A and B are shown apart, each in its own frame.
Chain A
Amino acid sequence: MNHQDDPIEAMLRKQFEGAIADDGFSERMMQRLPPRRSRIAWPLWLGLLGGAGPCWLSVAGLPWTRVSWRYWTDGSLSTSTIGLLLAMAGMSLLACWWSIAEADDR
C-alpha cells in the first residue's frame, strides 16, 4: 500500500482546507516590508584593522612576546609560546562567536 492509498492519509488530506486565498495579505505584507539594508564591507575591515593594529603594536614590544615568538620560530614549545598560542586561539574563538551571533541576528 503506498501513501496515496492509505485511508487515514486520504481522510487527513480531505480534511485539510489547503492554501488560503490571498485576500489582500500580500499587499499588506509588502507595505510593511522595510528597505533592505545594504551591506558595506569597509567598516568591518576598518574595525578589524583598527583593533588588530594597536593590539599588535602594544604587544609586539614586550619581551615576553619576543621570547615566545623566538621559541615558536625555533619549533620548541615553551610556556610563553603556549600562552601566546592560547591567547590567539581564544581571540579567534571570540571573533568566530561574534560573527555567528551577528549573522544570526540579521
Chain B
Amino acid sequence: MARVTNNVAEARIDQALVARSLGANDRRAFEQLVRRHQGMVRAQLRRLLHGDHAAADDLAQEAFLLAWRKLDQFRGAAKFSTWLYRIAYSCFLQAYRKKPLPADNGDELAADRLPATSPILDLQLDLERAMQRLSEAEQIVLLHCVQLGLSHEEAAYVLTMPLGTVKTHATRGKAKLKTWLAAWSEAVNEERA
C-alpha cells in the first residue's frame, strides 16, 4: 500500500517537472528529471548491451536528448519512467538492429566483485549463464518485468509487444530458469525459511 502511494507521489513529481520543463522552458526541471531517472535507464541499457558501460551511456544520452525533443508528446498515460524506458529501448533497437551485440562479460563482472570461492559467486555465474541460454526475447522480458519491476502491461508498452507475448516470454523464461537452477531455488527457499 505504502509502495503504491509512493509510486503515485513519484509520478506526480515527474508530471510537475514535465509541465515546468514545457511551460516555462525550464532546463533545471528537465535536469531534475534526468537526475531522477538516469540510474535506472542506464541500468536498463547496460543489461541490454551485456555490460558495455560506454555504449550504454552513449545510448542513455541519446535517449534523454530524444526525450527532451519529444517532451510535448508525453501525455501522462504511462509513467514518465516507463515512457523513458520505451525511448531508451527504441534507441537500443535502432543502434543494434544491424550490428552484433558486444560479447557478454557478465561472468567477468561478477568475478571482479566477489571472492573466488564464494557460493554467491557460483550462484551469480550460474544465473548469468542460465540467462544467456534463454532466447533474446525472454531475457529482455525478464529484465523489464522482474529486474526493472515493470508490470506486464508496462513491459508490453516499453517493448512494443502484444501483452500476451510478454506474458508468454515471462512464463517460459522463468520456467526454464526454474528447471536449470532447481538446486539454487531450493537453497534460496531454505535460506528464507
Contact = CB atoms under 8 A, between A and B. Distances in A.
A44 B178 CA distance: 58
B147 A16 contact: yes
Contact of A9 (B68, B174, B189): B174
A60 B27 CA distance: 50
Interface stretch (A24-32, A75-83, A93-101): A24-32
A33 B174 contact: no
A102 interface: no
Interface stretch (B8-16, B30-38, B96-104, B153-161): B30-38
A22 interface: yes
Given A25-B57, A26-B31, A30-B27, A16 B185 contact: no
A57 interface: no
Given A8-B181, A8-B185, A25-B57, A18 B43 contact: yes
Interface residues of A, number: 28
B65 A33 contact: yes
Nearest to B126: A11
Contacts of A29: 34, 38, 61, 64-65
A22 B127 CA distance: 27
Nearest to A12: B146
Contact of A11 (B35, B39, B123): B123
Given A25-B42, A29-B34, A29-B64, A15 B127 contact: yes
A19 B127 CA distance: 20
The 6 closest A-B pairs by CB, nearest first: A19-B39, A16-B147, A7-B185, A20-B42, A7-B188, A12-B146
Interface of A: 6-13, 15-22, 25-26, 28-30, 32-34, 36, 38, 103, 106
11 contacts: A7-B184, A8-B177, A8-B185, A11-B185, A16-B47, A16-B147, A20-B38, A20-B40, A20-B42, A29-B64, A30-B31
